Amino acid sequence: MSSLVVENPRSRIPEGLTVDPVSAAHMANSFLRTALDQASEGIMIVAPAFQPHLGPRILLHNTRMAALVGAEPSRGLCDRFLTQLAATEEEAGDLLRVLRCTVKQGGAAQWEGGMKTFFGDKVVRCIWRIRAVMDEHGRVYNYTLAVTPSPTPVTAAPDRSSFSPVPAPAVTDDSRRLRNDNLATMAIGVFHDLNNLLGIMMTNLSEAVTISPAQGQVRSHVEEALAAARQACDFVKETMRMAKGMPENRAPSDVAQIIRMTARITQSGSGVNLHMSLPKDLWWAMADAPRISQVLQNLILNGIQAMNNRGHMDVLARNIVAPQGHHALRPGPYVEILVRDRGCGMDPEDAARALHESFTRKENGNGVGLTTCKHIITEHGGQIAVSSMKNVGTEFMFWLPATQPQQQQGKDAAPMTPPRVRSGLGTILVVDDEERLRNVVHAVLKRCGYRVFEASNGEDAVQTYRQLLRQNDDVDMVIMDLTLKGTLSGEQAMKEICAMDPSARVIASSGGMLEESREGFISEGFCDILPKPYLAADVADVVHQVLMKDIKGEHSGRAA
């Protein structure tokens, strides 16, 4: 890795002109961060001092490093230690030994070992290139680490008798992998922004439903728009889980609801008329809903493309029981799902290959979609099959093991209209850089009986909180957006508020947040989370629940 040098910002200033050194330092820092974020490898800068049992603290990192680890974009790896990324305690010790020996080895070293991710137990084998940054006296300023996943081992020994270039397929695979990694990183940021916009829509729509007359055409239109926004929200969250590479979360899942949501969104914008036939008593399945949705999306998109974006498709489902001696399934109950198109179809030979190898007839296709579908279904204990005829169409059929009947009792679909908004008493500080969302949250909480203050950034939030404390005016709750414009992030603002008032209660909110990350945020000092987008009732509920916990003595601090 080439060393990063920040040129003195005063070196090119024409004689006679002066520049504010603080502004120049901010500009140089901006240039450095921009350069780091353009790198294709994960880069970290860590402190020269080693904390006992923890090693050096991480001072700075680029977005690629956060993506490799699976960190939240708004939080990154700040305030973490290098050894916390190592897969095991033994490897953490090895990494520290290599780090200490870097200076003796001329300032550079390399180590290969496992890196933990923040989601699940997944470990990524990586190459860690280490450089000690020293002054002219040999004192270490910091350590710079460049981290890249280890390449897949080559099974056959290379021919060293000739110096032929790298085969084109390997270059293509590396390019595709890099492109997919970059797309996944960008997707998380896009989902964050999309959730913020959905939040404005859903909070306003749910508030409109609450204050509009119970009967009438306007109320009906608002409820329909809210239902569509909630479906979009569910789809974004499920796709975000896949982009973040979160572990499977299998639970009793409403297969009919998964089919409806996925089919409607996948069909959107196409010229294909999609017919669904889903019985009312369709069984549930023990499944990871986002991954099953991924399978359905892939099969439906294949059909739309095979039909040149026009015509009719079918998505059908039914309950079946596989008997003893079934040729493909173990005995027991299953949900059978069929996706049928009327497109160009495949030859028998191509159909036989479709699920067993990277096969495609599409221009610019990579042929891994169907094999991925098969892998997901078989991991769930099911099976998938394909039947096709040239110029007639293609049918994909797959089976998922169904849950026992008692597991689906009481699992009615969530109502589309929002529940009653809870009232309460207290003072709430709402911190968000999106004015439209601040305004509607302010209106919701005020209607519930709370007194509400607002702040658009972390600095204003800390200052407002401090002023209220000086006036002996307690703030009962802070709703803190994590991604704020300015020098203070939401997490940093929370820490400053808690430093001046240890009994402060701060709820974390973000468009890049998932319910699975609740415990992590609570361990960092937040009292609860409010993932975006949310309904008006969600805001009132989380505030009410946290305040009630304090009244019941479950948390230390002031009672509301």
State the Cα angle at 230 between 228 and 233, rounded to 5°.
115
For the chain, the average pLDDT equals 77
Give the C-alpha separation, 503 to 108, whole Å: 47
Give the separation between CA 42 and CA 65, rounded to whole angstroms: 4
Would you state the pLDDT for residue 385?
92
Distance CA 375, CA 377 (A): 6
Q: Considering only 177-191, 324-338, 528-542, which range has the smallest mean pLDDT? A: 177-191
- 278 near 300, Cβ under 8 Å? no
Has this prediction a pTM greater than 0.85? no
Q: Hey, what amino acid is at 402? A: A
**The pLDDT value given to residue 118:** 73
Q: Are strands 427-431 and 393-401 parallel, antiparallel or unpaired?
A: unpaired
Helix (H) or strand (E) segment spanning residue 558: none
Alpha carbon separation from 45 to 119, 132, 437 (Å, rounded)? 23, 10, 36
Residue-level pLDDT at 478: 94
The answer to whether 507 touches 527, Cβ cutoff 8 Å, is: yes
Burial of 122 (0-12, 13-18, 19+ CB in 10 A): middle
Strand boundaries in 332-408, DSSP class E? 332-341, 383-389, 393-401
381 Rama class: left (phi>0) / alpha (psi -120 to 50) / beta: left
Longest Cα separation, the chain: 92
CA–CA separation, 428 vs 479, rounded Å?
7
Q: Record the tokens describing residue 332, joined without a space.
A: 């027991």
- pLDDT over 90 at 401, yes or no: yes
Query: How confident is the model over 159-178, as a mean pLDDT?
Result: 44
Q: What's the rounded Cα separation, in Å, for the pair 297 and 268?
A: 12
Output the pLDDT for position 520.
82
Give 421's DSSP letter: P
Give dist(CA 165, CA 422) in Å, integer: 68
Confidence of residue 349 (pLDDT cuts 50, 70, 90): confident
Query: Chain centroid to CA 543: how far?
Result: 25
Q: Helices marked H in 150-308 — which ranges?
A: 168-211, 217-243, 255-267, 289-306
SS3 107: coil
Q: Is the model's pLDDT at 495 over the cut of 90?
A: yes
Strand arrangement, sheet containing 271-277: 271-277, 310-322, 332-341, 393-401, 383-389
Tell me the C-alpha to C-alpha distance, in Å, between residue 330 and each of 254, 315, 381: 22, 24, 9
CATH numbers and ranges of domains, the chain? 39-149 (3.30.450.20), 255-407 (3.30.565.10), 427-551 (3.40.50.2300)
SS3 550: helix
- Residue 307, SS3 per DSSP: coil
What are the residues whose beta carbons fall under 8 Å from the beta carbon of 487, sequence distance 6 or more?
458, 459
The one-character DSSP state at 83 is G
pLDDT value for 11: 42
CA dist 218 and 439 (Å) reads 22
The residue with greater pLDDT, 485 or 153, is 485
Please give the average per-residue pLDDT across 227-246, as a whole number.
Answer: 63
Supply 238's token pair: 């499920």
- 31 vs 266: CA distance, rounded Å: 41
Kindly report which listed range (71-75, 248-252, 272-276, 289-293) carries the lowest average pLDDT score.
71-75
Radius of gyration of the chain measured on its C-alpha atoms:
28
Distance CA 229, CA 6 (A): 47
Give the mean pLDDT of 94-98.
88
Instruction: Express each pLDDT in 41-74 by its tens digit.
Output: 888 889 888 888 788 998 888 888 888 888 776 6
Choose among 90, 101, 84: nearest CA to 44.
84
Strand order in the sheet with 140-149: 58-61, 42-46, 140-149, 123-134, 108-116
| Residue 116 near residue 126, CB atoms below 8 Å | no
Measure the CA dihedral 69/75/78/80, to 10°.
-60
The tens digit of pLDDT for each residue in 428-483 reads: 999 998 888 888 888 889 888 999 999 999 999 999 999 999 998 889 999 999 88
